[in-house]
Amino acid sequence: MKKIMNILLLTAMLLALAACGGERKNQDVELTVFAAASMTETLTEIKTAYEADHPGVVLSFNFDSSGTLLTQIQEGAACDLFISAAPKQMDALEEAGALAGDSRVDLLENQVVLCVPDGNPKGIDSFDALAQALKTGDILMAMGNSDVPVGQYTQKILAYYGLDEEELAAAGCITYGSNVKEVTTQVHEGSVDCGIIYCTDAFSAELTVVDSAAAEMCGQVIYPAGVLKDSKNAEAARAFLDYLTSEAAMDVFKKVGFVPAG
Kind of pairing, strands 105-110 and 259-260?
A: antiparallel
- pLDDT > 90? residue 27: no
Burial of 250 (0-12, 13-18, 19+ CB in 10 A): middle
How far is 127 from 139, CA to CA, in rounded Å?
A: 13
Q: Please, what is the average pLDDT of the chain?
A: 91
Q: What's the per-residue H, E or C state across the chain?
A: CHHHHHHHHHHHHHHHHHHHHHHHHHCCEEEEEEEEHHHHHHHHHHHHHHHHHCCCEEEEEEEECHHHHHHHHHCCCCCCEEECCCHHHHHHHHHCCCECCCCCEEEEEECEEEEECCCCCCCCCCHHHHHHHHHHCCCCEEEECCCCHHHHHHHHHHHHCCCCHHHHHHCCCEEEECCHHHHHHHHHHCCCCEEEEEHHHHHHHCCEEEEECCHHHHCCEEEEEEEECCCCCHHHHHHHHHHHCCHHHHHHHHHHCCEECC
How far is 213 from 217, CA to CA, in rounded Å?
A: 6
Task: Please tell me the predicted confidence (pLDDT) of residue 28.
Answer: 87
Q: Per residue in 35-71, pLDDT tens? A: 999 999 999 999 999 999 999 999 999 999 999 999 9
Backbone CA torsion sign across 153, 193, 211, 247: positive
How far is 197 from 117, CA to CA, in rounded Å?
A: 13
Band of pLDDT at residue 33, cut at 50, 70 and 90? very high
Q: Per residue in 105-119, pLDDT tens? A: 999 999 999 999 999
* pTM greater than the 0.75 cutoff: yes
Q: Per residue in 144-155, pLDDT tens? A: 999 999 999 999
Q: Per residue in 182-197, pLDDT tens? A: 999 999 999 999 999 9
Q: Per residue in 156-168, pLDDT tens? A: 999 999 999 999 9
Read off the amino acid at residue 5. M
Please state, for a pLDDT cut of 90, what percent of the chain lies above it. 88
First-to-last C-alpha distance (Å) of the chain: 75
Q: Per residue in 195-242, pLDDT tens? A: 999 999 999 999 999 999 999 999 999 999 999 999 999 999 999 999
